Amino acid sequence: MKVATYNINGIRSRLSNLLEWLEKEAPEVVCLQELKSPESGFPYGPIRDAGYGALCHGQKSWNGVAILARGEEPVETGRGLPGDPNDEHARYIEAEVRGLVVGCLYLPNGNPQPGPKFDYKLAWFERLITHAKALVKSKRPVVLAGDYNVVPTDFDVYNPRSWKKDALLQPESRECYQRLLAQGWVDALRTRYPEERIYTFWDYFRQHWEKNSGLRIDHLLLNAALASRMTDAGVDSWVRGREHPSDHAPTWVELADGAPARKTGQKK
DNA sequence: ATGTCCACTGGAAGTGGA
C-alpha cells in the first residue's frame, strides 16, 4: 500500500495534474495540501470518478487540506489542530483509512522572519508536537504526512547559503522538527535514503527545477507500529516536470500489509 | 532586490501569500 503526500498549490488549477498522477501511480492514500479552495469548490466528482473517496477541510484563497482513499471513504477523526480555538486556518485533517490513522498537515510557511508569521509557525508547531505525542505512542499504525515547511538539515537543500534567512531553515524551525522526531517518529524518506540528496520541492524561480535546485520539506513520519512495515519510499518527481506543475512533487511511502485487526483485546 | 505562480478584487492590473 502506497501512502503519499502532495502539496498541489491550488486544486482547481491543478486538477489535471492530480488526475494524471492518480491514474499512473494509484496510491491507496493521498494527503493533499494548499488546496486554495473552500470545500464548495473541491472537485469531489472527478476525484470520485478516478476511484477515490475524499475528505476536504478547505477555506477561501489559502491553505486547505484533504485526504483521499482509493476505493473507499476515509473516516474522519478530526479537523483543525487542537490547542487554539481562534485559529481559522485550514491546515490539519485526520482520518482512518485501511487500518491506518492518517494525519494530513500543512505547517505554516513562516516568512518573513522574524515577525508575526514566524511566531504563528512556531506556535502551530508546538500544537502539532503536543497532538503528536499521543499519536506516536499508539499501538495503532499512524502516519503524519504533509508539507512541514521545514528543511531538517543543510543536507536537505541544494545550497543552504541561499536560504539561510528563510523561515524554512531557521534553528527554531529545525529544533521543533527534531523535537517531534525525538518522540519516536521515523522520517520515511531520510530513512530510505540515508546518504542521498533527495528533494520534494523546487520553487518556480530561476529555473530551479531544471537545475535540480530543490529542498526536502514534504515529510512522512511513521510511528513504531507502522515504521516496521515500510518497504520503500520515494518522490514522484516526474510530476514536477509536467506542464503547469505544482512547485512540489508527490512524496510517498510503500507499506507491507499489517496484521489483520483483532477481534478481542485492544478495545478501550 | 530579484525571480514565478495562484487566488481574489473588480471589471485592469495590483495585492497577499508562498
- Give a yes or no: residue A135 inside a domain: yes
Note the pLDDT of residue A268. 40
Count structural domains, chain A.
1
Nearest residue to A143 via CA among A59, A251, A267: A251
End-to-end Cα, chain A, rounded Å: 27
Nearest residue to A67 via CA among A40, A100, A89, A107: A100
Q: Which domain holds residue A86?
A: 2-255
Please state, rounded to an integer, the average pLDDT across all residues of chain A.
96
pLDDT in tens, A214-246: 999 999 999 999 999 999 999 999 999 999 999
- Give a yes or no: residue A84 inside a domain: yes
Point out the nucleotide closest to A204 (alpha carbon to C1′). B4
pLDDT in tens, A198-210: 999 999 999 999 9
- Give a yes or no: residue A266 inside a domain: no
- Residue A94 in grid coordinates: 485526520
Contact predicate A148/A107, CB 8 Å: yes
Instruction: Residue A150: give its domain's CATH number.
Output: 3.60.10.10
pLDDT in tens, A51-81: 999 999 999 999 999 999 999 999 999 999 9
Cα-flanking dihedrals φ and ψ of residue A182, to 5°?
-65, -15
β-pairing verdict for A100-106 and A142-147? parallel
Q: Between vectors from CA A231 to CA A229 and to CA A235, what angle results, nearest 5°?
A: 120
- Give a yes or no: residue A243 inside a domain: yes
State how far the alpha carbon of A234 is from the alpha carbons of A85, A164, A249, in Å.
Answer: 36, 26, 10
Nearest residue to A103 via CA among A129, A83, A71: A129
- In angstroms, how far is B7 C1' from A225 CA? 40
Residues of A from 70 to 129 whose C-beta is within 7 A of strand B: which are they? 108-109, 111, 117
Contact predicate A101/A135, CB 8 Å: yes
- Residue A74 in grid coordinates: 476515509
What is the average per-residue pLDDT within A13-21? Answer: 97
Note the pLDDT of residue A240. 98
pLDDT confidence band for A260 (50 / 70 / 90) = confident
Note the pLDDT of residue A130. 98
A36 touches strand B (CB under 7 A): yes
- Give a yes or no: residue A108 inside a domain: yes
Find cell 479537523 and name the residue: A79
Point out the nucleotide closest to A37 (alpha carbon to C1′). B7
Nucleotides of B under 7 A from a protein CB: 3-8, 16-18
Give A160's contacts (C-beta < 8 A, 6+ positions apart): A151, A154, A169
Nearest residue to A28 via CA among A218, A263, A205, A258: A258
Note the pLDDT of residue A261. 66
pLDDT confidence band for A262 (50 / 70 / 90) = low
Q: What percent of chain A has pLDDT over 70?
A: 97
- Give a yes or no: residue A116 inside a domain: yes
**Is pLDDT of A259 > 90?**
no
- Give a yes or no: residue A265 inside a domain: no
Global confidence as pTM: 0.96
pLDDT in tens, A136-174: 999 999 999 999 999 999 999 999 999 999 999 999 999
- Give a yes or no: residue A261 inside a domain: no
